[in-house]
């Protein structure tokens, strides 16, 4: 029987990740800032899946030896892990905290240090793949921490993900995720420019995607976000405001390590412009609408 696992954060990504663990037979202890989300998921249990709800992160840690967090960003991660009634307050010696949020490499290393001082183990294991990958259990997982802790968490990762990489010591998972978010943002922007150019020149956007997908320009962005681009459906899988947050983390890391990230800085401003237009809760593929705005095109 798989061990009991805590799961904190049941948003767009966290809910399907937790649901996949339940389907795999793990007994979960759930917590979410909006309690109703945890109660709704717990109510979906059946004979093969069991879940209960905790009032706060401390209670989750008290009931489980392994806890996964999936939170919006660094402030929430720090509060849930190290704050009052946080995971550290209830974690037993030898327990493992796996933060799968996209957060700060500096914070990840600091929390790992604090965890070690308490006799607690910690991994930073952010993911890529959006809600589609979370639902399908095919996320790309980038885990920073010790070999032993990675091996301990691997059975859980294998339920939630497809490509699973041990990136190195604490903090490196978040560094690799920052790299990932730079590339994804650039790819979305490049595809957006290509589609708007093709459209204004009279080429069907679907034909543009078909042609580009067969050559060197092919990318996962064109495959995963194809429907968003073609149907103008910006129901969020990865929100504009969260991707801008991620780029902010990458730019901070760039300053920390003395790396110039000029195009990432431009993309940060472009996502900021989308937020100023009231599109912060749209899918990040909505970057195409900004290109259209700049081109005087609103198709």
pLDDT in tens, 56-77: 999 999 999 999 999 999 999 9
Any idea what the Cα angle at residue 155 is, between residues 35 and 151, rounded to 5°? Answer: 115
Quote the pLDDT of residue 48: 64
Quote the pLDDT of residue 45: 72
Beta strand 139-144 with 127-128 is antiparallel
Last residue of a domain, one of 169, 204, 219: 169
For the chain, give the percent of residues with pLDDT over 70. Answer: 97
Question: What residues contact 139, with CB distance under 8 A and at least 6 apart?
Answer: 17, 127, 128, 129, 133, 160, 161, 162
Can you give the C-alpha Rg of the chain in angstroms? 20
Please tell me whether residues 151 and 182 are part of one structural domain. no
Average predicted confidence (pLDDT) for the chain: 95
Contact 257, 178 (CB under 8 A): no
Residue 103 confidence (pLDDT) above 90: yes
Residue 149 confidence (pLDDT) above 60: yes
Q: How many domains does the chain have?
A: 2
Quote the pLDDT of residue 68: 98
**Is 181 domain-assigned?**
yes
Last residue of a domain, one of 169, 195, 215: 169
How far is the CA of 50 from the CAs of 2, 28, 256, in angstroms?
Answer: 11, 6, 44
Please tell me whether residues 132 and 280 are part of one structural domain. no
What stretch of H or E contains 107?
helix 105-117
**Is 186 domain-assigned?**
yes
Q: Which of 19, 37, 177, 225 is catalytic?
A: 177
Which CATH number belongs to the domain containing residue 245 in this structure? Answer: 1.10.1040.10
Please tell me whether residues 210 and 279 are part of one structural domain. yes
Q: How far apart (Å, rounded) are the C-alpha atoms in residues 77 and 75?
A: 6
Quote the pLDDT of residue 237: 84
Residue 53 confidence (pLDDT) above 60: yes
Q: How far apart (Å, rounded) are the C-alpha atoms in residues 272 and 91?
A: 38
Residue 1 confidence (pLDDT) above 70: no
Beta strand 139-144 with 161-168 is parallel
Please tell me whether residues 21 and 58 are part of one structural domain. yes
Note the pLDDT tens digit of each residue in 252-292: 999 999 999 999 999 999 999 999 999 999 999 999 999 99
**Is 299 domain-assigned?**
no
Residue 177 catalytic? yes
Range of the domain at 88: 5-169
Say which residue the tokens 């001082």 belong to. Answer: 117
Contact 285, 225 (CB under 8 A): yes
């Amino acid at each position: 029987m798989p061990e009991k696992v805590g799961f904190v954060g049941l948003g767009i990504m966290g809910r399907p990740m937790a649901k996949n663990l339940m389907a795999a037979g793990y007994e979960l202890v759930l917590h979410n800032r909006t309690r109703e989300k945890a109660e709704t998921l717990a109510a979906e249990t059946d004979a093969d899946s069991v879940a209960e709800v905790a009032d706060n992160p401390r209670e989750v840690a008290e009931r489980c030896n392994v806890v996964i967090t999936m939170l919006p960003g660094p402030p929430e991660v720090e509060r849930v892990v190290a704050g009052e009634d946080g995971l550290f307050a209830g974690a037993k010696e030898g327990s493992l905290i796996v933060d799968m949020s996209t957060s700060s490499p500096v914070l990840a290393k600091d929390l790992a240090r604090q965890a070690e001082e308490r006799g607690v183990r910690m991994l930073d294991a952010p993911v890529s793949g959006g809600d589609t990958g979370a639902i399908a259990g095919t996320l790309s997982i980038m885990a920073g921490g010790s070999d032993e802790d990675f091996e301990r968490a691997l059975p859980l990762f294998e339920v939630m993900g497809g490509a699973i990489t041990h990136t190195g010591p604490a903090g490196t998972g978040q560094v690799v995720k920052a790299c990932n978010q730079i590339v994804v943002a650039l790819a979305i922007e490049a595809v957006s420019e290509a589609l708007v150019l093709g459209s204004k020149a009279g080429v069907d956007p679907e034909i543009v995607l078909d042609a580009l997908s067969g050559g060197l320009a092919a990318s996962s962005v064109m495959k995963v976000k194809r429907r968003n681009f073609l149907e103008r459906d910006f129901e969020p899988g990865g929100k504009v405001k969260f991707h801008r947050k991620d780029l902010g983390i990458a730019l901070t890391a760039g300053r920390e390590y003395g790396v110039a990230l000029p195009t990432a800085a431009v993309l940060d401003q472009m996502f900021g412009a989308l937020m100023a237009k009231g599109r912060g809760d749209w899918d990040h593929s909505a970057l195409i609408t900004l290109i259209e705005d700049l081109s005087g095109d609103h198709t």
